[in-house]
Structure 1
Amino acid sequence: MKTLAIGGTGFLGAHIVDSLLAAGHSVGVLSRSKARSAREVPESVDIIEGDLGLLDRPSLTEMMSGYDKLVYAAGVDERVRPDGDAREFYFRENVETCRNVLLAARDTEISHVVVLNSIFTCFNRLHPELKLTQHHPYIASRVAQSEMVIEVSRGHFVASVLEIPWVFGDTKGKPSQWSALVSYVRYTRRLVAPNGGAVAISAKNVGRATLGALSAPRVSARIPIGDCQLSWDDMLRQLAKLSGKNDVSVMRMPDSVFAGLMRMGSVTLRLIGEKSGLDFSRLGELLTREFDVDLAASQKLLDYGDPDIEPALAATVASVPDYRRAATWSRLAPFKFAAAA
């Protein structure tokens, strides 16, 4: 089995490549720098040098010829600051670029495609009253990407849109997206968390779920994945314990206070001229909810292994250098919970 992993050199891509190799796949990855990626991926991986944003459709088709399966783990998340209009930026990066790849894949022998999407797409289905696509450009792009993938796949290949939640685990030497949160837990005496929580998954299980999605599904579908659902205060307690702090209490923040802090964050971004894929003034109503996502169905379908999140949380803590700068991180505490998948 030959599988091409676009985005295979990133954080999640590295774990996906590991799962593919362990299952006996021959794996290729696309990289802007073959020399740099040669130091990051196993020797058996075929590195194709190229810039995804510059490849036209014939070049993409030629690149994918000879592969049986395709993993698309590229795109940008809400942490990437938009260049120009936010909605146009995210749609270009997450929808149009992906569309070009999938249209090119239709001219190959590829039978299964996996596209890494966002759990926000699932939240949008569960709670349309929040109007997430109207208020958050990043979420709008992920919902549009999901719809596009299903449409383009019809009659050509089976496409699984994996809705990725908050991911924890070994970063394999890359900077951790959870550095601020881990440092907050390490250096703050009294931890504070909002109500609500998040769906969580280990990076290893993202790899395993991707492997399962390349063979198990028979029809194209959107599939939310995850190991468990964690309240924010439970997440902080576990991270604190794994950081060596025992018997830590976490105080619940009133929703109105948290919403006010998020609005302050929104005002701050506007004042400094920063654009974002998420509207901070409306993040409170999203992050303080507890979403009832059916994880058992995808765990059974894709067979992605042990749902124990603690080893992944431990690996996340280990991936963040201990700088002992408590004062700095304490001042940033109100904004830790804006990080999302």
Structure 2
Amino acid sequence: AYLNKIRPDMKLTERNPYMKSRMDQEKVCEDAADENFSTCVLELPYIFGTQPGRKPVWTVLIEQIQGMDKLPFTLYPKGGTAMLTCRQVGQVIAGAAENKAGKTGFEAIPIGMYNMTWPEFLDIVFAARGMAGRKIVTVAPWMMRMGMGKIVKDYKNRGIESGMDPMQLPDIMDYNLFIDKKYCLELGVEEDDIKAAITDSIKVSQAAFEGKVKLLEMKGE
């Protein structure tokens, strides 16, 4: 939702059902607010940390990059993202609830405590996988798009409607989607060890990908 607001020129809701659904959800919350009732949407970025017994979403990343492990380098976009830890998500939720107490109206707050480029993030990922110092080669959107055609064809053959437009994803991942942590600090969020949280997430994701542990899937059971 945050990217859609700061980059209206990308027309994200027109091409990405997932982003449209997020904006629709936000509108529902906004419409529910009035002079007697307050609502708040926390625009959360990537979250790191583990939930006992549940498969992390980062198994998808492991699946994406392991195919390049035999190469002398890994190809990846040069953009970046905001992030925070599971502990900090709890803090920001509590802070937002306390902040809205006694207030009315609607508020959407962009959330993020740390900003990393994808290469910086992958340095931590590969260290967690026992491949510290792995060379990362960044690619331009047009190069990434060349490899997305196969995915588009696969989705079509399987009758899958993707939540994200595979042909616009390269442009999104090329962008540094960074968020000022001042919003989190105002809600009482404290510093945490993001590197340790990423490392824990990746180690569990790698074990799940290799079938070494049995975990609940990301979808609801």
Range class of TM-score, shorter chain: 0.7 to 0.9
The TM-score normalised by the length of structure 2 is 0.83
- The aligned length equals 204
Superposition deviation, residue 310 in structure 1: 0.8
Distance in 2 between residues matched to 1:183 and 1:139, nearest whole Å: 23
Structure 2 residue aligned with 1:311: 196
Other structure's SS at 1:215 match: helix
Structure 2 residue aligned with 1:213: 96
Structure 1 regions of 5+ residues with no counterpart? 1-120, 326-341
- More off after superposition, 121-130 vs 281-290: 281-290
Query: Which of 152, 160, 164 is matched with 2:44 structurally?
Result: 164
Structure with more contact order per residue of length (Cα contacts < 8 Å, sep ≥ 6): 2
Map 1:49-68 onto structure 2 (within 5 A).
none
Other structure's SS at 1:229 match: strand
Superposition deviation, residue 250 in structure 1: 0.8
Contact 2:82 2:115 in 1 (8 A): yes
Distance in 2 between residues matched to 1:165 and 1:237, nearest whole Å: 19
Structure of higher CA gyration radius: 1
Distance in 1 between residues matched to 2:116 and 2:141, nearest whole Å: 18
Distance in 1 between residues matched to 2:177 and 2:190, nearest whole Å: 22
Query: Which of 279, 295, 308 is matched with 2:165 structurally?
Result: 279
Contact 1:198 1:232 in 2 (8 A): yes
Aligned partner letter, 1:318:
K
Contact 1:163 1:225 in 2 (8 A): yes
Aligned partner letter, 1:241:
A
Map 1:160-199 onto structure 2 (within 5 A).
160-182=40-62, 188-189=69-70, 190-199=73-82
Distance 1:184 1:271, change over 3 A: closer
Distance in 2 between residues matched to 1:166 and 1:222, nearest whole Å: 17
Query: Which of 117, 139, 142 is matched with 1:256 structurally?
Result: 142
Superposition deviation, residue 176 in structure 1: 1.4
Structure 2 residue aligned with 1:107: none
Is the counterpart of residue 138 in structure 1 residue 18 in structure 2? yes
Identity over aligned pairs, percent: 22
Superposition deviation, residue 125 in structure 1: 0.4
Structure 2 residue aligned with 1:152: 32
Distance 1:154 1:262, change over 3 A: farther
Aligned partner letter, 1:234:
E
RMSD: 2.1
Structure 1 residue aligned with 2:215: none
Contact 2:129 2:206 in 1 (8 A): no
Distance 1:207 1:142, change over 3 A: same
Distance in 1 between residues matched to 2:44 and 2:113, nearest whole Å: 11
Distance in 1 between residues matched to 2:20 and 2:209, nearest whole Å: 38
